[in-house]
Amino acid sequence: MQIKQTSNNKFIDENNIKNTCFLIRHGECISNKKWPIKNYTDEMDKLTKLGEKQILEKVNFFKKYKKNNFKIISSTLTRAIQSAKILNQKLIKSKILSPDERIVEKNHEEKILSFKKRTNSFFKNRIKRNKGPYIIVAHGHLIETLLLLSIDKKYSLVTRKDKTRGIKGIWGVHNGSVSAMVENQFVFF
């Protein structure tokens, strides 16, 4: 389920931009193309050429918010850090902040209470009201779970046909896709 920003729902404008947290999924990485990978390490899971292109394509989206100094925070995983660096290089007024392990992708293997505790801690300690906008470079399962929680849907883990673990009822936050949390409302673009 995707909630599209339209004229009937919340627009991001000069009135609420400082309280906006954009969420972008990292660009395509090696493990998105081939899984499982023997002797996998995070360091080897870099962006592909397509992944770099996906992030570069989002730069124009963020440039339409001309007067804003974005604060960019990524997870501590290589693919998210690379994506954040690409955005930071192209968004002249942006500032990259230190990566945060509380937004890594592990919620496909953790209980919902643990997920809530770590993400609540992240948002409480790193995201300051009226000090944004922020760009959070994270992962598909994390964004999917935040969406489920925002619309009050049940969180349930399942094993899919391809043997991966995922969240029941939702699948498919694409690489490089952008969504936002605007004053506690979740919006996809």
The DSSP secondary structure of 38-86, one letter per residue, reads: TT--GGG--B-HHHHHHHHHHHHHHHTSTT---EEEE-SSHHHHHHHHH
DSSP secondary structure letter of residue 26 = P
**pLDDT, position 172:** 67
**pLDDT, position 62:** 92
Nearest CA among 112, 118, 71, 77 for reference residue 93: 71
Tokens (6 digits) for 25:
């999924």
The pLDDT mean for the chain works out to 86
Per-residue pLDDT reduced to its tens digit, 78-99: 999 999 999 999 998 899 999 9
DSSP secondary structure letter of residue 162 = T
Amino acid in position 28: E
Of 25-29, 49-53, 102-106, 150-154, least confident by mean pLDDT is 150-154
Tokens (6 digits) for 123:
């948002």
Per-residue pLDDT reduced to its tens digit, 23-71: 999 999 999 888 788 898 999 999 999 999 999 999 999 988 877 899 9
Half-sphere exposure of 109 (CA within 13 A, CB side): 4
Alpha helix ranges (H) inside 104-180: 112-126, 140-150
Q: How far apart, in Å, are the Cα atoms of 84 and each of 13, 56, 68, 71, 157? A: 23, 11, 17, 10, 28
Cis check for the bond before 133: say yes or no (omega within 30 of 0): yes
**pLDDT, position 3:** 47
Q: Which residue has the higher pLDDT, 10 or 71?
A: 71
Mean pLDDT of 97-115: 87
Q: At what angle do helices 112-126 and 140-150 cross, to 10 degrees?
A: 90
